[in-house]
């Protein structure tokens, strides 16, 4: 689709394949479009790096170090077009490290030809805070569709998956379940298992059984052993700029999905239960036919709007606009 070497997709973490957001926002669309993928680390010389590859346009996935700024500045000197992707820029830093990170994000943004974010909320934040426009391109589906559930088993068979950065949201959701004294089995798929296990050691409820499973690239095999995925959100800027990938993956895998009632989930309300996690589980038990209908309709919607083909087309259109501008 693009001439060899015209476009280069850049990652700044030494093992991009272990970063879930890198997979669905960069690796998969780059592979689908035949775009060269390159890793740029802190010790690399940006000028030599760019002269060696000679791209016309670079796409910079979420920056993991500040030396990306040097790469962007050198690209501008060489008249190379720049698209920068921002995953977690929410303008509300809670410590000095995050403040420094957001400062170099702004430098990146002001020196890029185009900004890409995952949600409308993130785009609005950038516009309100620094007056720049950002295109919204969602992450694509990372797993193939699976056979949807056809009933709700008892006791409830539940799954939560996410990285350690979302463990606080898991605790938030577990509290809403414990408050309702719901009998259930909960499979937790994540990293830093030992740390989380200690963190949740206070849970002694007889009704709740917890199983910890280490996160792997094939975590979908574990998700489909359950009927319901819970995705609790804490309603803060940090979460609302994130992508929808856990929601779309859960629906695409044919699981009934219960999500906290936050703004970024509104577009999925026809296909999920939005609200208190405990109330959602009770609703699912009482409304099995409606659950199955939501699951099947949701799978169709997700396939049409978040497939790799659909998302890659958005990237292709944007790249062509920027490279010709």
Are residues 311 and 300 located together in one domain of the fold? no
Are residues 193 and 123 located together in one domain of the fold? no
Are residues 287 and 168 located together in one domain of the fold? yes
Q: Are 266 and 274 in contact (CB under 8 A)?
A: yes
Euclidean distance between CA atoms 139 and 160, whole angstroms: 19
Q: What is the CATH number of the domain that holds 192?
A: 3.40.50.2000
Are residues 74 and 163 located together in one domain of the fold? no
Q: Tokens 């999920």: give the residue.
A: 272
Residues 136-168 have pLDDT tens digits of: 999 999 999 999 999 999 999 999 999 998 999
Are residues 317 and 286 located together in one domain of the fold? no
Percentage, residues of the chain above pLDDT 90:
86
Domain-located, residue 33 = yes
- Please report which confidence band the pLDDT of residue 274 belongs to, taking 50, 70 and 90 as the band edges: very high
Domain enclosing residue 78, as ranges: 7-140+307-324
Domain-located, residue 283 = yes
Q: Averaged over 293-314, what is the pLDDT?
A: 97
In this prediction the pTM is: 0.89
Are residues 223 and 92 located together in one domain of the fold? no
Are residues 160 and 298 located together in one domain of the fold? yes
197-203 — which CB contacts under 8 Å span 24+ positions? 199/167, 199/171, 200/171, 200/174, 203/174, 203/178
Checking if the pLDDT of 130 tops 80, the result is yes
State how beta strands 135-136 and 156-161 pair. unpaired
Q: Averaged over 18-34, what is the pLDDT?
A: 93
- Please report which confidence band the pLDDT of residue 238 belongs to, taking 50, 70 and 90 as the band edges: confident
Q: Averaged over 269-294, what is the pLDDT?
A: 98
- Please report which confidence band the pLDDT of residue 182 belongs to, taking 50, 70 and 90 as the band edges: very high
What's the whole-number average pLDDT of the chain?
94
Checking if the pLDDT of 21 tops 90, the result is no
Checking if the pLDDT of 2 tops 60, the result is no
- Please report which confidence band the pLDDT of residue 242 belongs to, taking 50, 70 and 90 as the band edges: confident
- Please report which confidence band the pLDDT of residue 68 belongs to, taking 50, 70 and 90 as the band edges: very high
Are residues 232 and 291 located together in one domain of the fold? yes
Are residues 116 and 199 located together in one domain of the fold? no
Are residues 273 and 171 located together in one domain of the fold? yes
Domain count, the chain: 2
Domain-located, residue 249 = yes
Checking if the pLDDT of 250 tops 80, the result is yes
Are residues 164 and 36 located together in one domain of the fold? no
Domain-located, residue 244 = yes
Checking if the pLDDT of 1 tops 70, the result is no
Residue 230 tokens, joined: 């819970």
Q: Could you tell me the strand order of the sheet in which 156-161 lies?
A: 208-214, 184-190, 156-161, 228-231, 256-259, 273-274
Domain-located, residue 222 = yes
User: 320 versus 264: which is more confidently predicted?
Assistant: 320
Are residues 229 and 319 located together in one domain of the fold? no
């Amino acid at each position: 689709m693009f001439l060899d070497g015209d476009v280069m997709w850049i990652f700044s973490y030494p093992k991009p394949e272990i970063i879930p957001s890198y997979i669905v926002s960069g690796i998969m669309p780059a592979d689908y479009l035949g775009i060269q993928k390159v890793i740029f680390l802190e010790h690399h010389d940006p000028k030599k790096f760019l002269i060696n590859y000679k791209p016309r346009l670079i796409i910079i996935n979420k920056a993991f170090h500040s030396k990306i700024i040097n790469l962007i500045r050198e690209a501008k000197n060489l008249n190379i077009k720049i698209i920068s992707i921002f995953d977690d820029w929410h303008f509300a830093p809670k410590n000095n490290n995050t403040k420094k990170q957001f400062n170099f994000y702004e430098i990146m943004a002001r020196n890029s030809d185009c900004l890409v974010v995952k949600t409308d909320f993130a785009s609005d934040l950038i516009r309100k805070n620094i007056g720049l426009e950002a295109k919204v391109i969602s992450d694509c589906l990372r797993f193939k569709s699976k056979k949807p559930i056809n009933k709700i088993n008892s006791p409830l068979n539940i799954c939560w998956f996410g990285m350690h950065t979302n463990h606080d949201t898991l605790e938030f959701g577990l509290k809403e379940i414990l408050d309702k004294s719901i009998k259930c089995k909960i499979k937790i798929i994540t990293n830093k298992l030992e740390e989380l296990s200690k963190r949740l050691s206070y849970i002694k409820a007889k009704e709740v059984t917890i199983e910890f499973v280490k996160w792997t690239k094939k975590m979908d095999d574990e998700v489909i052993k359950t009927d319901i995925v819970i995705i609790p959100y804490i309603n803060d800027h940090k979460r609302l700029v994130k992508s929808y990938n856990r929601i779309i993956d859960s629906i695409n895998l044919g699981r009934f999905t219960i999500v906290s009632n936050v703004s970024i989930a509104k577009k999925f309300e026809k296909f999920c239960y939005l609200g208190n996690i405990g109330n959602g589980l009770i609703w699912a038990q009482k409304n099995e036919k409606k659950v199955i209908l939501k699951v099947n309709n949701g799978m169709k919607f997700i396939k049409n709007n978040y497939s790799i083909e659909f998302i890659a087309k958005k990237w292709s259109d944007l790249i062509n606009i920027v490279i010709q501008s």
